[in-house]
A = this chain, B = another copy of it.
């Protein structure tokens, strides 16, 4: 394969570091440029010392970063700045392939975007061009896309479990309850009191109950799958662990049928494992890998099913899925650079 020159916007956050961890072992990629505003001028190893043995490009400001040689751009900037940064990038070099890890290009409807994010989208043409980068669902469209909006970590976890069931009309879409749990890296690397070790270890709590922004993505994709509006109940929680999303989904539908649909859907998918009927997945068994594990368990009451889905929020829920998107967009074998197994224990 030819070598792709890759740049990362926003390399000093957790998803940026995770991209570097994965791309360093990707045989078709050269990491050519890295941006990080406040750390510009410093080596990547200053912000993530585990990379000190690698030969990586120096961190630059967005403005300094030369897109000329770049084939693929991963954008791990915060929500908001992303819109203008990518608009500028694609105007400067229209032939770029871009995978955006922010939330800016996930919602197709400008009204949805404005409603959930509180302001008008600043790059509406790109928004309508962008493809929702959930590979297992939108693979064909992604293969032709110039810009993909990499799905949120909660959303990926839930959609991989629910889209096939909703599409098959196998569950009551009025009755979906999603109780989701996330590790702490989902909150990013910004210094916030609420994320200090002593504030979040040795305890558990829900947050953003009834109003988490990933809800908008859930609504969009489930509604597409269902062919009508779906607005599930969704409650996120924080778990004192670093990595992992764990979604316990309560659905009205026949357990055996749901299991069959999921097992059939994912029989050939390299990154989704449907467990034998009745078995329960654990988040630790996907840690550090691009895998999603899904279990289907019957409730004691007939016609009720618990569907459980888990993945690593920094891999399949962010940077791993981003690499998977790149592979599809660049016609590389989809699993290239993504074969690392879970680190357990």
Contact = CB atoms under 8 A, between A and B. Distances in A.
A250 B179 CA distance: 9
A184 interface: yes
Nearest to A284: B203
B181 A204 contact: yes
B196 A191 contact: yes
A17 B342 CA distance: 11
Contacts of A306: 206, 209-210, 233, 235
A205 B21 CA distance: 22
Residue among A54, A184, A187 having the largest count of chain B Cβ atoms under 10 Å: A184
A237 interface: yes
A205 B49 CA distance: 13
A192 interface: yes
A9 interface: no
Interface string A165-199: 00000000000010101011101011111011111
Contact of A205 (B51, B184, B204, B282): B282
B240 A205 contact: no
A48 B344 contact: yes
A51 to B, nearest CB: 7
A345 interface: yes
A308 interface: yes
- One complex includes copies of this chain to the number of 4
A128 interface: no
Nearest to A271: B53
Interface stretch (A103-111, A147-155, A286-294): A286-294
Nearest to A239: B204
A123 B76 CA distance: 50
Contacts of A253: none
B291 A242 contact: no
A193 B239 CA distance: 19
Given A50-B341, A240-B239, A250 B248 contact: no
Contacts of A193: 189-191
A87 interface: no
A273 B52 CA distance: 8
A283 interface: yes
Contact of A179 (B179, B282, B285): B179
9 contacts: A179-B250, A184-B201, A189-B198, A195-B198, A206-B248, A210-B297, A210-B300, A215-B300, A233-B300
Given A191-B196, A207-B280, 10 more contacts: A14-B198, A49-B281, A183-B204, A203-B282, A203-B344, A206-B248, A206-B308, A210-B298, A237-B246, A237-B248
